[in-house]
A and B are shown apart, each in its own frame.
Chain A
C-alpha cells in the first residue's frame, strides 16, 4: 500500500504551500477558502470509530495528491523562471559575448532590420 507518511506532516506541508500561494495573492493565508476547507476536512475525519479507516486514507491520499500538485507547480515555475524565461539575446549582447561592438551607422542601415 502507499506509504504516505503521517497526516500531520502532509497537513503542515500543505499549509506551507498555501502560505506561498497567499504570499503571491497578498492576503493572509488564514483568509483563503482552501485553508478553511482543509482545516474542516482534517478535523472532521480525525476521529472515527474504526481501526483501519478507508475514508481517512482516501482523504489523506487526496491531500497528498494536492500537496504534490502545489509543490510541483511551484518548483516547475521556479525552474522555468531560472532557466527558460529570458528569451533570445539581442544583437548587441550577442556581439558583446566575444568582445565585439556593433558599428554606429548614423545614416541608417540601408535595409530593413
Chain B
C-alpha cells in the first residue's frame, strides 16, 4: 500500500530564539508543531490543530476522525516529531489520510475482497517439508492458531505443503466476507493494513479478536526468520529493524481498527446499602 504524504515532508531550519509571540511560519512548509491539540467542532468528529492551524490530508481535505482516542493518538504522533517530520514513523496519521483521501478509490467490497484473498496464500497455511526443526516449530506454533480460527468462525481451513497452497472451500470465504462486512470502512482499512503487513488473515483475525497480542502475532508471522536467526545469528540492522517496523505497522493497524469500531458507555451503579 502506497501512502502519499508528500506535503508533510519539509525539514525545518534550526531553531532560532523566539522574540515574537507566535512562531514564524515560512511558506508552505509545516513548522514544528508547538502543541498538537485535538479540537471538537460542533459537527462531531475530531480535528487536529498544529500551531493554531488545522491539519489537512495530502489532498487538502480537512483531517477529521470519528474517535477521540484516535485523535489524541495522532496528536501524540505529531508531538513526537523533532526537527524534521518523519512521516514513516506516523503510522496512525498515514492510515487516517488513506481513509479520508482514498487514493486508490477502493470501496468497501474491494477492501473485503482484497482481505479475504490473503486467505488463499495465508502464511500459517503454508508448511515446509524440511528442515525438521522448522517443520516441528510450524506444527507447534501454527496449528493452534488454525484450530482457534476454525473453532471461532466455524469454518474449515487446512494447511498444506504443496506450492499451490491449501484448498479453501467457498463457504469459508463467505463466512469471512460476511464477518468483515460487519466492520465500518475505517476499521476495515485498518484490518486490511494489518493483514497486508502480517501476510496472514488468520493471524490478523487473532489480533483483532484480542486472542493473541501483537508481539506474538508478529513472531508467528516471522516464524521462519526467527528459526534462521536462532540457527545463524541475529543481524541487528536488518532483523531487528524489520521486526520493529512490522510490529509498529501491525500495532497501528489493529489499534486503528479497534478505535474506529468501538463505542464505550459508562454505567454508574449505585452501591446498595
A32-89 contacts to B (CB < 8 Å): 32-34, 37, 41, 44, 49, 55, 57-58, 61-62, 64-66, 68-69, 72-73, 75-77, 79-80, 82-84
| CB closest residue in chain A, given B236 | A79
B245 at the interface (CB under 8 A from A): yes
Write out the residue numbers on chain B whose beta carbons fall within 8 Å of the beta carbon of A64.
213-214
Counting contact residues on chain B (CB < 8 A from A), the size range is 35 or more
Partner of B258, one of A27, A65, A83: A65
CB pair A66–B241 under 8 Å, yes or no, is no
B7 at the interface (CB under 8 A from A): no
CB pair B86–A33 under 8 Å, yes or no, is no
- Interface residue SS majority, chain B: helix
State whether A65 and B255 are in contact (beta carbons under 8 Å apart), knowing that A33-B38, A77-B89 are contacts in the complex.
yes
| CB closest residue in chain A, given B213 | A2
Write out the residue numbers on chain A whose beta carbons fall within 8 Å of the beta carbon of B92.
69
A1-54 contacts to B (CB < 8 Å): 1-4, 18, 20-22, 24-25, 27, 32-34, 37, 41, 44, 49
CB pair B266–A44 under 8 Å, yes or no, is yes
- Cα separation A69 to B214 with both chains bound (whole Å): 9
CB pair A73–B241 under 8 Å, yes or no, is no
- Cα separation A22 to B76 with both chains bound (whole Å): 9
State whether A33 and B75 are in contact (beta carbons under 8 Å apart), knowing that A4-B213, A79-B244 are contacts in the complex.
yes
A residues whose Cβ falls under 8 Å from a Cβ of B: 1-4, 18, 20-22, 24-25, 27, 32-34, 37, 41, 44, 49, 55, 57-58, 61-62, 64-66, 68-69, 72-73, 75-77, 79-80, 82-84
B residues whose Cβ falls under 8 Å from a Cβ of A: 35, 37-38, 68-69, 72-73, 75-76, 79-82, 86, 89, 91-92, 210-216, 236-237, 240-241, 244-245, 247-248, 251-252, 254-255, 258-259, 262, 264, 266, 269
